[in-house]
Amino acid sequence: MREIKFPENFLWGGATSASQFEGGYTKSGKGLTVSDVLTAGSKNRNRKITWAFPNSDEIQYSDVGGFWGDITVNDEGVIKVFQNEYYPSHNASDFYSRYEEDLALLHELGLKSYRMSISWSRIYPNGDDEIPNQEGLKFYRQIFELCHKYHIKPIVTLEHYDVPLGITVKYGGWKNRRVIDLFVRYAETVITEYKNFVDYWIPFNEINSVTVETFKNAGMLKCNDGDRAQAAYNKFLASALTYKIAKKIRPDFQIGCMVAMTLSYPKTCAPEDQFEALKRCREYDSFLDVLVKGTYPNYKLIEYKQKNIKLNIETKDEEILSQSCVDFIGFSYYTSGVVTKQKVENELHLLGPTNPYLKTNAWGWGIDPLGLRYSLNYLYDRYKKPLFIVENGYGDNDIIENGSIKDNERIDYMKSHLLSVSDAINIDGVNVIGYTPWGIIDCISLGTGEIKKRYGVIYVDVDSEGKGSFSRIKKQSFYWYQNVIKTNGKDL
């Protein structure tokens, strides 16, 4: 008989991010972030940066939708917010005004942990200010005090797709080594400030997307392969230095990393397809090897040499990286992909051809709970570090009927994936420490800025144009997940 069991101290939780959930984009002295200058998009329409030529109020748009592409803002252009344009992050789900209500709901849900992010620009509005913004520090302190009251452990990400716009404009984003010191100063400020409230810290969200989501993740506009590689390297160093400082502040802090994980199956048993799958795995490994082992894999160094990429490395970097490796690995998992050496028409971005063996959601993503178990085994076999599933979930266009939301598909998705987690723990011996499904309360999409692709067990009454009451409604999945947590997974 299948044993369904989770550790007694398992961190059942939920996840959101400042740029997709918080709102209050200029309140408490907050400065602009890269997310604050992004318009709304859709499945078929990319989000855009808004800017203007000097001494002009005529709005200009630059596309940020493509992977690996440059952002074509004129060298003299001024990136700015325009009054008559809609920017989803400005209000998002209005957690800024409703955090007391929302945290009370999360307490009612029974959460043991809450993964959230601090907005760098709410603490240092331009990213490089001389002193921290006290109003911003007070805002997050109020949140952490409530979490403490409700016995909810905050899992805090320090940068989650919201690089301060000042870092982009003044320094060119994360390709500039000067940004390392600015980030580490910010990290030291908040880790010191909240040392009695937060035990778990993650410096960067989905650090491996720095080379593909160059503006959202790294605050970079025009960039080449060398810039992307340098940005990744600089984030590795910033993560290691954050680890080092955090351990001095409180040695028992748990400092992790976070990668986006999308398992890729070979389309056929052809050796070429098998090797493509290996190459896709290595894209994750090349980041985790540095963060967990403190060194680049040989194949990545060879790739850089072949591309004539020369990283800006200083004398003590190697020692810093090797001596400040993370305590746990956090990762996001939503779906799996398929890879092939052959060219495929209409493939879904990085997911590749459709997998005929999987059911899909409305967005074409395959539902693959066994892929999560596979990923857990793969990561644990390779790194032997505790694993934390910090994002997972089912996005859907939820409909209110007679005042209630019956989201059975979400329940089925979460149940099947949690059963796979249980199998990984009890059959495979994987050390999994927690599960925080994404958008536990509905929040806007990073990719499109829409909210109609909802992940939450709590509904937010707002549409993809920012219109609505912002009131909260518990979905059917709320009561299901509440019972799962209450029984520590026994009632799956």
* Per-residue model confidence as pLDDT tens digits over 348-381: 456 788 899 999 988 889 999 999 999 999 999 9
With vertex at residue 488, the alpha carbon angle to CA 483 and CA 489, rounded to the nearest 5 degrees, is 75
Whether 220 has a pLDDT exceeding 90, the answer reads: yes
CB-facing half-sphere around the CA of 98: CA atoms within 13 A: 18
Of 25-39, 65-79, 383-397, the poorest mean pLDDT is in 65-79
Q: How confident is the model at residue 75 (pLDDT cuts 50, 70, 90)?
A: confident
> What is the arithmetic mean of pLDDT over 111-138?
99
Cβ pair 101, 472 in contact under 8 A:
yes
* Paired strand residues for 260: 332
**What residue type is assigned to position 43 of the chain?**
K
Q: Look at residue 464 and tell me whether its pLDDT is greater than 80.
A: yes
- Of 159, 276, 391, 450, the active-site residue reads 391
pLDDT (mean) for 333-357: 81
Residue 113, helix vs strand vs coil: strand
Angle of helix 476-486 relative to helix 95-109, nearest 10 degrees, comes to 50
Question: Given pLDDT bands bounded at 50, 70 and 90, which one contains residue 17?
Answer: very high
Burial of 477 (C-beta count, 10 Å sphere; 0-12/13-18/19+): buried
Q: How many residues does the chain have?
A: 492
Helix (H) or strand (E) holding 230: helix 225-249
Q: What angle do CA 240, 28, 156 make, to 5 degrees?
A: 30
Confidence of residue 185 (pLDDT cuts 50, 70, 90): very high
The whole-number pLDDT of residue 2 equals 81
What is the C-alpha to C-alpha distance for residues 200 and 462, in angstroms, rounded to an integer?
31
Q: Is the pLDDT confidence value at 65 over 70? A: no
Residues 6+ apart with CB under 8 A from 119: 18, 19, 22, 30, 33, 136, 162
Beta bridge partners of 256: 328
How would DSSP label each residue in 290-307?
IIIISS--HHHHHHHHHT
End-to-end CA distance of the chain: 14
Planar angle of CA 451, 455, 457, nearest 5 degrees? 115
Instruction: Give the pLDDT confidence score for residue 352 in this predicted structure.
Output: 85
pLDDT tens digits, 233-282: 999 999 999 999 999 999 999 999 999 999 999 999 999 999 999 999 99
Concerning whether 130 is annotated as a catalytic residue, the answer is: no
Q: Mean pLDDT of all residues in the chain?
A: 95
And the tokens for 113? 């942990």
What is the structure's pLDDT at 3? Answer: 85
Specify the residue for token string 């925080």.
436
Average pLDDT, stretch 142-163?
99
Alpha helices (H) along 398-451: 408-426
What confidence category does residue 69 fall into, taking pLDDT thresholds of 50, 70 and 90? low
pLDDT tens for each residue of 418-459: 999 999 999 999 999 999 999 999 999 998 999 999 999 999
CA dihedral 200, 484, 104, 408 (to 10 degrees): 120
User: Is pLDDT at 86 greater than 70 in this prediction?
Assistant: yes
> For the chain, which domains are there?
11-24+87-486 (3.20.20.80)
Tell me, rounded to whole angstroms, the distance of Cα 26 from its chain centroid. 22
- Provide the pLDDT for residue 296: 97
Q: Which amino acid is at 439?
A: G
The rounded percent of the chain whose pLDDT value lies above 70 is 97
CA angle 101-446-253, nearest 5°? 65
Grade residue 157 by pLDDT with cuts at 50, 70 and 90. Answer: very high
Residue 154 above 90 pLDDT? yes
Residues paired with residue 388 on neighbouring β-strands, in sequence order = 330, 434
Is pTM beyond 0.85 here? yes
* Cβ count within 10 A of residue 119: 30
**If pLDDT is split at 50, 70 and 90, which confidence band does 64 have?**
confident
Catalytic choice (22, 159, 193, 206)? 206
The mean pLDDT value for 23-47 works out to 94
Element holding 215 (H helix, E strand): helix 214-218
What is the sign of the dihedral through the CA atoms of 84, 87, 89 and 92? positive
Tokens 């997998």 sit at which residue? Answer: 355
Alpha-carbon dihedral angle through residues 202, 203, 204, 208, given to the nearest 10 degrees = -90
Tell me what pLDDT residue 71 has: 73
Percent of the chain beyond pLDDT 90?
89
| Annotated catalytic residue 206 | yes
CA distance 413 to 393: 7
pLDDT average, residue stretch 180-204: 99
